[in-house]
Structure 1
Amino acid sequence: MGRFPEMNELHRTGGKLFDADDNLVPASDSIIFPDVKCFTADGKEHDLVQILRGKVTCVTVFMRDFARPMLKSWEEHIDEVKQEYPQLQVVQLSFVEGVAYRLIKGWMISSMKKRIQPDKHDRIHMCFGSSDEFRKALHVKNRLVAYIFLVDSQGRMRWQAVGYPLPHEARFMRKSVGKVGAGNDKGRGEKRAIVSLSSSKT
């Protein structure tokens, strides 16, 4: 999807490409969250899979500044869940695409740190390079919106949302963290295809 189709879809849907499901993806049907090289707030490089391993994680993803207000609208809900379930790990994954940006990587990381409260610096994870393979693995087509994923301790993607949160989505996310963390998360028994993150709205 190119820039103009992305903009048209954003204007048409307000960034709400679909309403999140009220069911977890069963573990047996889930996909492994794709691995990428990323940099933390202290400038160290890590594989995302190492960060996710062994922890229930809420991963927020954005690729363009258009998505920042959407991500901000989720933060209050995520912080409330974090207070209730301190074991929840939160990863804010941002993609910085373009060769020129790699030359100012240190400045980009420093700039990101200044935008985020100090007590949340451990959430920062920045990827410098193309997001194509990552987006392909998760069926993410529009780079102008924010994406929210719940990943279990085995690195499996169990739930996803997009755009601004709806009340029922925020409630379900909170309930799901408890289920996934406790292992009481079998979800629906039938096969479930991953929802395409391109717009299904008209």
Structure 2
Amino acid sequence: MITRTNARAASCLACQWRSFSVSYRRFAVDKPASPSTTPAAPPSSRSKIPPAPKALEVEPGSSTTADASSIPATPLQTKPSGPLAHAPRGYGDKLEEFTPTPLWRPIGMHAPPSAGENTGIDHRTLKQRRDDFVDYDKHIARRQELKSKMARPYFRDWRNMQFHKGKTFLSPPRPFKADLSLYFPNLHGRTLDPSSSKTGTGADTTPILQGRASVVTVFSSMWAENQIKTFTSPTHNPSLHALLTTNKSLGAQLVQINVEEDTLKAWLIRLFEFSLRRRVPKEDWGKYFLVRRGITEEIRESIGLLNGKVGYTYLVDHQCRIRWAGSGVAHPEERESLNKGLQRVLDEMEKEGVAVGRGTVRKGVVKGGGFKAGA
């Protein structure tokens, strides 16, 4: 009985060793032989290793291959350019030192805005979604987009706050010339107007900005909101509110955009809308936007929203063009330049005879291919 048990155990161990050795050779990676060692002998016929699969070779004109040029580059793949190329971002290289410099060129979108853009709502049909799902080029582009979001450091924006309290750039001393300025994009979101809250439908910023001289603030946290108050609050800038009150009939207004892409925080803001209505005058409820989606990386790079924890202030004219911009905490000279810029835009509107709220957005002409601040 003992002999049979030992023979059976020995046969089981032999089977296990044979299976382990075969699997080990099958999944082993062939390494190139070094010059000092002799080349290995070819495997025997009993243990043939299957050759490694070759890459599928497809003709360049075939639809199964993705052209690299057709895949849009993500922010992690492209090197920033323009007047804010040296500014710290939530992605890319980590900066150890940074000093903000004044804007020497206009910022904004090259195409004029229109209502209905950048809503973040998917209007595709089921057939279109199915076609996009099986499209290899779009699949690769989406993969690159997700990779860029996953590779972004979570605390990078908070770390960049150490540089001058997150100030990305200094405001230009004078507003940009009208014919050289670029456009503020259309954003879509809910307002504090009770009718918008009941119906659940959003509103666009472009109809609110057309035909008016607007001071637009963009923020996404209490810290950022306190920063933009240094530009626009009656305590810090009483001259600005005097201009807004005196020239309200000419189209001077203050527009606030609260950006919150996190679903839970957005629901909390919606839950406490009554507290926001107490702080905002009733006639300005339709000018306070709660934006959840639609702000792409292209928009952030174009208008300078490089840090989600920092507040930004813009002066937008009746053609939805960005004539002046500020970031972070205001300096005294920046508040003065904002007030002078608003007065200049109001003078231009009065000179052109623009009807309040009835301005049309037309594409400006850039002369000489360059951008510079107006005199």
Relative to the length of structure 2, the TM-score reads: 0.46
1:21-100 correspondence runs (5 A): 21-43=172-194, 44=196, 45-74=202-231, 75-76=233-234, 77=237, 78-86=240-248, 87-100=251-264
Going from structure 1 to structure 2, the CA distance change for 1:80 and 1:166 (only over 3 Å counts) comes to farther
Is the Cα–Cα contact under 8 Å of residues 98 and 129 in structure 1 kept in the other structure?
no
Deviation at 1:137, TM superposition (A): 3.2
User: The residue matched to 1:150 in structure 2 has which SS?
Assistant: strand
Give, in whole Å, the separation in 2 of the partners of 1:50 and 1:136: 23
Residue range with higher mean Cα deviation, 67-76 or 165-174: 67-76
Aligned equivalents of 2:205 and 2:280: distance in 1? 20
User: Which structure's CA Rg is the greater one?
Assistant: 2
Q: How does 1:147-186 map to 2 (within 5 A)?
A: 147-183=312-348
Residue-by-residue CA offset, 1:41-82 (whole Å, 9 max, x unaligned): 115221111111111100001022221211222222242331
TM-score (norm 1): 0.81
1:139 to 304, 311, 330: 304
Higher relative contact order (CA 8 A, sep 6+): 1
Q: For 2:256 and 2:306, how far apart are their aligned partners in 1?
A: 19
Q: What SS does structure 1 have at the residue aligned with 2:290? A: strand
Which residue is equivalent to 1:129? 293
Q: Compute the RMSD of aligned alpha carbons.
A: 2.7
Distance 1:130 1:151, change over 3 A: same
Q: What is the number of equivalent residue pairs in this alignment?
A: 191
SS, match of residue 38 in structure 1: strand
Inter-partner Cα distance in structure 2 for 1:49 and 1:20? 23
Taking every aligned residue pair, what percent have the same amino acid on both sides? 23
C-alpha distance in 2 between matches for 1:49 and 1:108: 26
The residue matched to 1:93 in structure 2 has which SS? strand
Q: 1:39 deviation in Å?
A: 1.6
Which segments of 5 or more consecutive residues in structure 1 lack a partner in the other structure? 195-202
More divergent stretch after superposition (72-81 vs 141-150): 72-81
Q: What is the CA-CA distance between 1:97 and the residue it aligns to?
A: 0.8
Q: Report the CA distance shift for 1:130/1:13 in structure 2 as closer, same or farther (over 3 A).
A: farther
1:105 CA displacement: 6.7
Bigger CA drift: 161-170 or 40-49? 40-49
Deviations 1:1-30 (CA, angstroms, capped at 9, x unpaired): 144221122122213222211121222221
Q: State the AA in 2 paired with 1:9.
A: N
Deviation at 1:89, TM superposition (A): 1.2
Counterpart amino acid of 1:70?
Q
